[in-house]
């Protein structure tokens, strides 16, 4: 088969066990129409139980697989050089006991962190001083400032994380989502390098 095609690997896809991955699943393909139609359903990799959770498909593996069947086709690659295949082994059941334990751990930890911070910066003394400056009276517990401040702290956290339970307040990602995205990119980069790591013995054995 003659013709020219352009291939751009997708960054990450998800599939199940014992699945056959076709070229159209892991890549965007454009070029000669007849070539694209034939290549779209071309098997690239078969996922088995030995693959565990992640498989990295290198662009060289894809090109070699295509060239074995159609050696005369002109392949131009665009974008990244690896496609990460995440294998979904089934929906994990979350234990209610584990959920409650993690929730309590995070709640108590966050509460202690906020209280320790307020103690370090003497927030109570600051409220007392502000109340005295505004009203001219000195009180031990300036609830007029402390109660709105407590509600404002909670609303500030909601705005910062941009979520109320599962509902997003706006389309802009929160700082936590941005950091998680950066972490996922670093993790994918590490997995791609680690999976494709070769020794001199591996190269000579080919």
Res. 201 pLDDT band, cuts 50 70 90: very low
Cα–Cα distance list, 139 to 27, 144, 183 (Å): 68, 11, 48
User: H-helix or E-strand containing 195?
Assistant: helix 175-195
Res. 39 pLDDT band, cuts 50 70 90: confident
**Mean pLDDT calculated for residue range 39-55:** 84
Task: Give the pLDDT score at 119.
Answer: 87
Burial group, residue 63, by CB count within 10 angstroms (0-12, 13-18, 19+)? middle
Rg (CA), the chain: 28
In DSSP terms, 83 is beta-bridged to 57
In 3D space, the residue among 5, 62, 9, 64 whose CA is nearest the CA of residue 36 turns out to be 5
Task: Give the pLDDT score at 2.
Answer: 64
pLDDT reading at 70 higher than 50:
yes
Instruction: Report the range of poorest mean pLDDT among 9-13, 89-93, 148-152, 190-194.
Output: 89-93
Cα dihedral sign, 84-53-88-102: negative
User: What's the mean pLDDT when you consider all of the chain?
Assistant: 83
Q: What are the backbone angles phi and psi of residue 98, rounded to the nearest 5°?
A: -65, -40
CA distance 118 to 125: 10
Give the residue, 4 or 182, on which the prediction is more confident: 182
List pLDDT tens digits, range 77-117.
Answer: 888 888 888 887 766 677 888 889 998 998 999 889 988 99
In 3D space, the residue among 147, 108, 153, 116 whose CA is nearest the CA of residue 131 turns out to be 147
CA distance 9 to 124: 57
Residue ranges per structural domain of the chain: 4-88, 96-172
Structure-block tokens of residue 113: 């962190």
User: 4-88, which class in CATH?
Assistant: mainly beta
% of the chain residues with pLDDT over 90 = 6
Structure-block tokens of residue 167: 């509902």
Q: Whose structure tokens read 């936590």?
A: 176
List pLDDT tens digits, range 141-169.
Answer: 888 888 999 899 888 888 887 777 777 77
Task: Give the pLDDT score at 91.
Answer: 62
Task: Give the pLDDT score at 75.
Answer: 86
Give the residue, 91 or 76, on which the prediction is more confident: 76
């Amino acid at each position: 088969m003659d013709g020219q095609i352009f291939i751009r690997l997708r960054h990450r896809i998800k599939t199940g066990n014992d699945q056959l991955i076709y070229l159209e699943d892991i890549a965007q393909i454009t070029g000669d129409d007849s070539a694209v139609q034939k290549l779209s359903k071309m098997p690239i990799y078969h996922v088995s139980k030995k693959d565990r959770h992640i498989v990295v498909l290198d662009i060289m593996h894809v090109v070699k697989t295509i060239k074995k069947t159609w050696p005369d086709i002109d392949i131009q690659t665009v974008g990244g050089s690896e496609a990460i295949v995440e294998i979904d082994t089934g929906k994990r059941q979350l234990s209610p006991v584990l959920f409650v334990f993690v929730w309590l751990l995070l709640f108590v930890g966050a509460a202690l962190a906020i209280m320790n911070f307020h103690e370090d910066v003497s927030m109570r003394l600051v409220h007392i001083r502000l109340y005295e400056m505004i009203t001219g009276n000195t009180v031990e517990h300036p609830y007029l400032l402390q109660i709105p401040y407590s509600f404002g702290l909670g609303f500030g956290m909601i705005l910062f994380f941009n979520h109320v339970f599962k509902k997003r307040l706006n389309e802009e990602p929160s700082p936590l989502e941005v950091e998680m995205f950066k972490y996922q990119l670093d993790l994918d980069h590490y997995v791609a390098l680690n999976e494709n790591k070769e020794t001199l013995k591996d190269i000579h054995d080919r």
